[in-house]
Structure 1
Amino acid sequence: MARKLRFTIILRREEEGGYSAQCLELPGCISEGETREEALENIKEAIRGYLEAFPEEAEKLKEEKELVEIVV
């Protein structure tokens, strides 16, 4: 069984309604949905499509990384 990859998603409620979802590990991988659940399902689909189009990105994701939060 293939190892599952973990992704960090920024989920935002939009002023005009609905939600947007952005995957931090995959630049430009963004989706949306009317509900929180729909946005999360749509970003999963977008991630799968991104990795199909750019399979080399999956290998980069297996490398060690550090997530740092800063305040400016």
Structure 2
Amino acid sequence: MSRKDILNNKVQLDYFSVSYFKFEEDFEKYSAIGIPLTFLTDDMLVQMEASKKNYFKLNKHNSIDGVDHYLWC
């Protein structure tokens, strides 16, 4: 899956599901990245689709508490 496929809406997040609200809440809670989640979702989708995984790993270098976090979408 390429970035073009994502921009053509072949892969999307369900922004109104309970799991996405939990994902968003956990990302804001643990992330030390200074960029809002809104600006990262396309890149996250590309990575998740390329790896065929339904979760995103927030590594310890980018987390507030220095621990790896796995966030499911």
TM-score (norm 1): 0.28
TM-score (norm 2): 0.28
Which structure's residues are more often helix, by fraction? 2
Q: Which has the larger radius of gyration?
A: 1
Task: Report 1 or 2 for greater relative contact order, CA contacts < 8 Å, sequence distance ≥ 6.
Answer: 2
Which structure has the highest strand share of the two?
1
